[in-house]
Amino acid sequence: MKKTINVGVVGCGYWGPNLIRNFRSLPRCRVTVMCDVNEDRLKHLRALYPEVACETRYEQMLARADIDAVVVATSVKLHFPMAKASLLAGKHTLIEKPMAASTAQCEELIEIARNKGLVLMVGHTFLYSAPVRKIKEIVDNRDIGEIRYISARRLNLGLFQNDINVAWDLAPHDISIILHIMKELPQSVNCRGGAHIVPGIEDVTSMSLHFSNERSAIIHSSWNDPRKVREMTIVGSKRMIVYDDILTQEKIKIFDARVEQPPHYDTFAEFQYAYHYGDIHSPYVKQDEPLKTECQHFLESIWGGKAPITDGAAGLEVVRILEASSESLRLHGAPISLAANHNHRDTTIPFPRKDVRVS
């Protein structure tokens, strides 16, 4: 029988309470302690979960012998020191996105986890969502043909951050999805943006990722938009997919639309593009809570001693692109080459897995 895993969560602000709620709902898991420097937050959570201990000092939490795993849901600048301390204390560790503030930090965490035989996972939640899993299945089956480009928009009014720009805050979601679908790292990155509210911290960015075979992806991120938008368009040579995560139903629509070049022509007058407009199909996607699936996957990775889908290496790939985007911003949009480009690891697994129990 699988042993009960005792989890400690550090960071009880915006996202931490969602993690606590989901881990508490899973079998063979117990949230043992919640940690935050803000005592008012802990007081509120203690009223909801009186059986869970509270700590204001992180080192005291790590010193507890009854914790097997730690979830880091703090600001990005604290991800590295807190995750490093957790791993050195012998705890399996789940870090919210982005994994750390630099590739060097990511690489150090990966090395520590490897040496200690611990699970290191990054919270790229959308890879655990049913719509993205369905999109991945459609693309892998070549139902839309060859991918030509991907366009993503993630916009809203706030929440403004004071330590990272909007690309580091919102784009990790889209980058992780794009890498998952493309199965390849981009060859170069360029990014432009503007800081309209806080000097030096861009609140709107446009990032371009350039892949092999003339494929590309554009990511538009903003804290300064009147509408909340969560939309991605995947254009293939045969069909196109529109994914709108704001919708409660029919989040995925497949458009039987494409543009074709004539095979040959003798004169310019004979040259005509062929535009195909067909039906629009919305495949059935079972609704679930991606965060719950993510939390379950973390537990299963610990039990099975296997690398999770969004392991440290996956987190490093996203941070590498974010670093390149920051350098491009500094150089007013100049392209930044990713010299260490290599094929993205295809970590696709079927959902639900037979050995994964999602209650």
pLDDT tens, position by position, 183-213: 999 999 999 999 999 999 999 999 999 999 9
- Choose among 113, 131, 133, 135: nearest CA to 122: 113
* The Cα angle at residue 54 between residues 53 and 55, in degrees rounded to 5: 130
In tens, the pLDDT along 12-42 reads 998 999 999 999 999 999 999 999 999 999 9
Instruction: Categorize the per-residue pLDDT at 353 as very low, low, confident or very high, splitting at 50, 70 and 90.
Output: very low
Q: Do the strands 53-55 and 216-222 form a parallel or antiparallel pair, or are they unpaired?
A: unpaired
Q: Strand, helix or coil at 199? A: coil
Predicted local confidence at residue 354, as pLDDT:
33
Strands (E), 65-146: 69-72, 92-96, 120-123
Among 193, 158, 176, 148, residue whose Cα is nearest residue 325: 193
**16-25 and 290-304 helices, crossing angle to 10°:** 60
For the cut 70, the answer to whether the pLDDT of residue 263 exceeds it is no
Beta strands across the sheet bearing 120-123: 53-55, 29-35, 5-10, 69-72, 92-96, 120-123
- The answer to whether residue 273 scores a pLDDT higher than 80 is no
Q: Hey, where are the domains in the chain? A: 5-124+290-310, 127-289+322-337
pLDDT at 277: 72
356 has a pLDDT exceeding 50: no
Please state the pTM of the whole predicted model.
0.90
- For residue 291, what are the contacts with CB-CB under 8 A and spacing of at least 6? 18, 19, 22, 125, 128
Q: For residue 2, what pLDDT band results from cuts at 50, 70 and 90?
A: confident
Question: How far lies 177's CA from each of 16, 77, 169, 197, 346, in Å?
Answer: 22, 23, 15, 29, 12
CB 52 within 8 A of CB 78: no
Q: φ, ψ for residue 108 (rounded to 5)? A: -65, -40
What count of other Cβ atoms lies within 10 Å of the Cβ of residue 123? 26
In the chain, which ranges are E strands?
A: 5-10, 29-35, 53-55, 69-72, 92-96, 120-123, 147-157, 188-194, 204-210, 216-222, 224-236, 240-244, 252-260, 274-281, 336-337
Termini Cα distance of the chain = 17
Please count the other Cβ atoms lying within 10 Å of the Cβ belonging to residue 65: 6
* Residue tagged 């986890």 (tokens): 113
Residue with tokens 């997919």: 241
User: How confident is the model over 107-149, as pLDDT tens digits?
Assistant: 999 999 999 999 999 999 999 999 999 999 999 999 999 999 9
Contact 72, 79 (CB under 8 A): yes
For residues 259 and 277, what is the distance between their CA atoms, to the nearest angstrom? Answer: 9
What integer is the mean pLDDT of 79-91? 98
Residue type, 308: P
Instruction: Give the mean pLDDT of 229-247.
Output: 96
Architecture of the CATH domain 127-289+322-337 = 2-Layer Sandwich (3.30)
Q: Which two tokens stand for residue 176?
A: 């992780």
Q: Which CATH class is domain 5-124+290-310?
A: alpha beta
Averaged over 290-313, what is the pLDDT?
97
- Residue 178: the pLDDT is 98
pLDDT mean across residues, the chain = 91
Residues with Cβ within 8 Å of residue 144, at least 6 apart in sequence: 138, 234, 236, 237, 238, 239, 240, 241, 254
Instruction: Say if residue 267's pLDDT is above 50.
Output: yes
Residue type, 56: T
Q: Is the pLDDT of residue 333 over 90?
A: yes
Q: Is pLDDT at 258 greater than 80 in this prediction?
A: no
In this structure, what token pair is assigned to residue 93? 């560790």
The pLDDT score that the predictor gives to residue 158 is 85
* Alpha-carbon 324 to chain mean position: 17
d(CA 124, CA 143): 25
Which pair of structure tokens corresponds to residue 205? 């960015």
Cα separation, 123 vs 309, whole angstroms = 10
DSSP 311: B
DSSP state of 158: -
